[in-house]
């Protein structure tokens, strides 16, 4: 039975739902709509409202065009809202741990609504906050004279964290016990906040799930077959501004000879649908300004990050998602004839060494061989290196989600899905349209949520009623699978001794 519940915030009252053992609020504004003159500006405070605001319907997703991995389309820039999920047995000032979840989606796509947090909130006795924030060209666009170029998505997330500090006690949360968590692109944002001066003190633990290449570049084809070598995930602000100016000129968005002020005025009038055609080119947060003075690639190994406990990890078969979606599913699987060329373009003179360590005879198909190389080089090695950088300065825990029978985010014909990228999310959240978990998988999901909740509570995932999880300082990596939860030899499984010597 659904009942309504009202919470009074500093900006006005909101009416949510009390249902199935939890409280649920949607579409709460945490900042003003970034439209018109507020496009590409630091988020402004939300306008107060009178009466009781309905918080039982989702807020708008950030503007985005549908992708093969995400069917959502949105053209409405009024998107700076968040959802709150809390256990039913809570009250103002209850002091429950808070988890702020930053969704993934490649930097161009995704929405908070996709992740139903009721199990995580109830099992973990947590208050879960899920924001929408600007993406793509509206988040990482730079232009000469544009303040905060390339960091508007990060600014939005800082506004979320400040909202949590002001308001979360009204939902039973503890503003002094906040975990910032994210997956994939969301985890990349968490890495940025770990080094962002203005994020200091706004969160107290960090979770990075399947974060991609925080500390370096990625050889050709290792994210998506056919895609060239990727630059670091962070862009110098001057480069961001030059690139934005070039794109604006190429598309005729700015009249030739315009001064910076009039050029920005013209850009703020460009229809959002036109801007979104370029969104995939604007997914690298900019450093060198006030938000990110240093690239996280430099700051984290140097120990220049906020000293909070860190939990991070990968799935066992990360890259099967990308090889399956962008190669096999479009009728262009990796073939035995392709294999030497891909290796040569990715690894140059070291290609023969890689081929020796990953012979095609060891794999059912060339696509699976390539997916294993991509998983090991582009996910496992960078995560191991990132974990070591964190562990030098703070308490760190590393995991590997290893259920190779997990329901796939996108079932792909012709390629066994394994424990591919994003499949662990179905264990933490209820995600519409995905197959149900088996009884054994539900037990694993319960364990995972209790681990994450324990970490959110006190910075250590260990619990007396769960298998032990030693810290990464011992070299321990916790394998998470229905038939076994415990340590795994991550170095051997992903050939990390070999990859440390490779490009």
Inter-CA distances, 223 with 229, 402, 417, Å: 9, 20, 16
Cα 109 from Cα 61, distance rounded (Å): 9
Nearest 5°: phi and psi at 70? Answer: -155, 115
Cα 496 from Cα 485, distance rounded (Å): 22
CB 166 within 8 A of CB 29: no
CB 133 within 8 A of CB 157: yes
**Minimal CA–CA distance to 210: which of 224, 235, 190, 227?**
190
Q: Going along 20-159, which residue ranges are E strands?
A: 22-29, 52-54, 81-87, 96-102, 127-131
Q: What is the number of residues in the chain?
A: 503
Cα 146 from Cα 157, distance rounded (Å): 19
Catalytic: 184?
yes
Q: Which of 77, 297, 318, 385 is catalytic?
A: 318
Catalytic: 318?
yes
| Radius of gyration for the alpha carbons in the chain, expressed in angstroms and rounded | 22
Q: What are 402's two structure tokens? A: 């290893």
Cite the DSSP H helix spans in 89-233.
Answer: 118-124, 137-140, 152-167, 185-195
Helix-strand-coil split of the chain, %, nearest 5: 35, 20, 45
Q: Which of 22, 221, 306, 421 is catalytic?
A: 421
Catalytic: 421?
yes
Q: Which of 11, 74, 184, 279 is catalytic?
A: 184
Which amino acids are annotated catalytic?
A: 184, 318, 421
């Amino acid at each position: 039975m659904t009942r309504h519940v009202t919470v009074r915030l500093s900006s006005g009252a909101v009416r949510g739902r009390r249902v199935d053992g939890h409280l649920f609020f949607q579409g709460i504004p945490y900042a003003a709509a970034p439209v018109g003159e507020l496009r590409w500006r630091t988020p402004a405070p939300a306008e107060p409202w009178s009466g009781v605001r309905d918080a039982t319907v989702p807020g708008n997703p950030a503007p985005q065009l549908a992708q093969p991995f995400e069917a959502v389309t949105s053209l409405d820039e009024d998107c700076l809202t968040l959802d709150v999920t809390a256990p039913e047995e809570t009250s103002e000032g209850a002091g429950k741990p808070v988890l702020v979840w930053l969704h993934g989606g490649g930097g161009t796509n995704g929405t908070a609504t996709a992740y139903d947090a009721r199990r995580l909130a109830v099992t973990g006795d947590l208050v879960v906050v899920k924001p929408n924030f600007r993406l793509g060209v509206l988040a990482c666009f730079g232009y000469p004279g544009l303040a905060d170029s390339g960091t508007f998505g990060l600014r939005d997330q800082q506004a979320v964290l400040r909202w949590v500090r002001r308001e979360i006690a009204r939902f039973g949360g503890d503003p002094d016990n906040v975990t910032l968590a994210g997956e994939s692109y969301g985890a990349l944002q968490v890495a940025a906040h770990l080094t962002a001066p203005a994020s200091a003190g706004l969160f107290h633990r960090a979770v990075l799930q399947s974060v991609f290449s925080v500390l370096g570049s990625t050889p050709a084809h290792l994210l998506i077959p056919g895609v060239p070598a990727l630059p670091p995930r962070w862009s110098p602000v001057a480069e961001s501004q030059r690139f934005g100016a070039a794109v604006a000129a190429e598309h005729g968005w700015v009249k030739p000879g315009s001064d910076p002020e009039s050029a920005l005025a013209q850009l703020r009038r460009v229809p959002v649908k036109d801007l979104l055609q370029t969104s995939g080119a604007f997914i690298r947060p900019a450093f060198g300004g006030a938000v990110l003075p240093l690239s996280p690639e430099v700051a984290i190994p140097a120990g220049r990050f906020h000293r909070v406990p860190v939990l991070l990890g990968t799935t066992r078969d990360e890259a099967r998602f990308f090889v399956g979606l962008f190669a096999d599913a479009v009728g262009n699987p990796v073939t035995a004839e392709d294999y030497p060329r891909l290796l040569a373009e990715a690894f140059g003179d070291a290609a023969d060494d890689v081929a020796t360590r990953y012979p095609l005879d060891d794999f059912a198909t060339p696509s699976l061989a390539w997916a294993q190389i991509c998983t090991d080089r582009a996910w496992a090695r960078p995560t191991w290196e990132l974990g070591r950088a964190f562990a030098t300065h703070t308490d760190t825990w590393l995991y590997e989600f290893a259920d190779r029978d997990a329901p796939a985010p996108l079932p792909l014909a012709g390629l066994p899905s394994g424990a591919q990228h994003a499949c662990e999310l179905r264990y933490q959240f209820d995600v519409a349209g995905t197959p149900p978990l088996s009884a054994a998988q539900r037990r694993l999901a319960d364990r995972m949520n209790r681990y994450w909740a324990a970490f959110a509570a006190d910075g250590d995932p260990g619990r007396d009623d769960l298998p032990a999880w030693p810290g990464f300082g011992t070299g321990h990596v916790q394998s998470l699978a229905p038939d076994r939860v415990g340590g795994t030899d991550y170095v051997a499984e992903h050939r990390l001794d070999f990859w440390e010597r490779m490009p």
